[in-house]
Structure formats: structure tokens, C-alpha cells
Amino acid sequence: MTDKKDNAELPRRDFLKVAGVASVAAALAVVPKKEAEAASPEPKSSAGYRETEHIRTYYETTKF
């Protein structure tokens, strides 16, 4: 008798698994997708290369 009970529950379990997966798939299908936005290049905040006194001293010692 226990074999019939186990076999009868398998289709119900399969149905519940499929129902769970289908509900998640339906929820994902309804969620609106956002389009990717292009990143704008950020302006450089540094002043760039500056030749300071210690750099000039280094250049003089290396004969640049």
C-alpha cells in the first residue's frame, strides 16, 4: 500500500515544482528591462604635468 501512496504523490510534487518555476519565469517576464546608459567621460581634475624645482634638479643630475 505504501508504494501506491508514494507514486500518487510524485505527480503532485512535479506539479508544484513546475508551478513554482513557472511563477518565477512569469515574474521575470513582467519586470521592465532598463537600457544601459553610456558613461560620460569625467573631466580630469589634475593640472597635468608640472615641472617643479626638485624635478628640474633631477633632470640636471641625469643630464636630460
Q: pLDDT (tens digit, 9 = 90+) per residue, 18-64? A: 888 888 888 887 777 777 677 777 666 667 788 899 989 998 999 75
pTM summary value:
0.36
Note the pLDDT of residue 57: 92
Alpha-carbon distance 36 to 25, whole Å?
22
Note the pLDDT of residue 14: 86
Note the pLDDT of residue 7: 57
| Alpha-carbon distances of 5 from 14, 16, 18, 19, 47, rounded to whole Å | 15, 17, 21, 22, 79
Note the pLDDT of residue 54: 92
User: Which residues, 6 or more positions from 56, have their beta carbon under 8 angstroms from its beta carbon?
Assistant: none
